[in-house]
Each structure stands twice: as C-alpha cells, then as structure tokens.
Amino acid sequence: MSEQPEPTFGIDELCTLSGIARRTVRFYTQKGLLDPPEGERRGAYYTRRHLEQLLLIRKWQAAGVSLERISRLLQGDEAGLPLPEPGTIEVWSRVTLRPGLEVHLEPTRLGLTPEEVRALLNRLVAAITA
C-alpha cells in the first residue's frame, strides 16, 4: 500500500477548518503561538499540525486561559496548566451534588471546556445516585 501524502491547506482553508479568522492566524504566528507556514510567500501552506495547534489554542481560550499562559503551555515550559500568578483572579465553581457533598473546581486550571465540566458533573451525579 502506498502512503497518502499529508493534507495541506492554504490560509483560507485553514481558517475555515479551525473557525479562526485569517487576521488571528497571522497574529498567533507573529506571537509564536502558531508555527509559521511551510514554504515561502505565495507557496506557503499549512499542515495538520497547524490545524491541531489552532484547535488547541481555541479550546484553551474557551476555557478562559490567557494567550500568555497558552504560549507557555505550547512551549512546554510548564507541566499541565500553570498555577495562577499572584494577584490573578480565578473563578471557582461550587456545585452541590447532594446535601453534604460538594465539588469545588476551577475549569481553567483543569483545562476543561464548559461541556467537559457538565459531563464530569453528570458522571459524578450518576455515580453517587447509583
């Protein structure tokens, strides 16, 4: 069997697939959040790696992670999501699962999207009511 070549994308296709505007893609590249495109000038193209980077950035931003923190995470400077800097504000969720049982969580530090938080809480409720 012959291997199929890795798909490549022009900037417009990358933007459509990621849901991120062209201007934002260029900004992320300039700030070092996104690897520069392969090739040069008009022949430049993006790969699956670029798309995965953009989707990860988008996921972390949706979870409330700042671009500065995302940059550090992408560079591998910190294991997992970093602890908050002194003087930063965090929003903790306090959820009562049943009388006497609460869950306290900070989705940003966990790297969870709102949908993932809801799924986690639903699994916890199912576990305690089973």
Residue 22 lies in a domain: yes
DSSP 33: S
pLDDT, tens digit, 9 for 90 and up, residues 55-106: 888 888 877 778 888 888 887 765 555 555 666 666 677 888 888 888 888 7
d(CA 103, CA 84): 20
d(CA 102, CA 112): 18
CATH at 33: 1.10.1660.10
pLDDT, tens digit, 9 for 90 and up, residues 92-117: 778 888 888 888 887 777 777 777 88
Domain count of the fold of the chain: 2
Range of the structural domain that residue 30 is part of: 8-63
Look at residue 28 and tell me whether its pLDDT is greater than 90: yes
Tokens describing residue 121: 């809480």
Q: Exposed, middle or buried, 24 (CB in 10 Å: 0-12/13-18/19+)? A: middle
pLDDT averaged over the chain?
81
pTM passes above 0.75: no
In this prediction, residue 8 carries a pLDDT of 87
Same domain, 58 and 12: yes
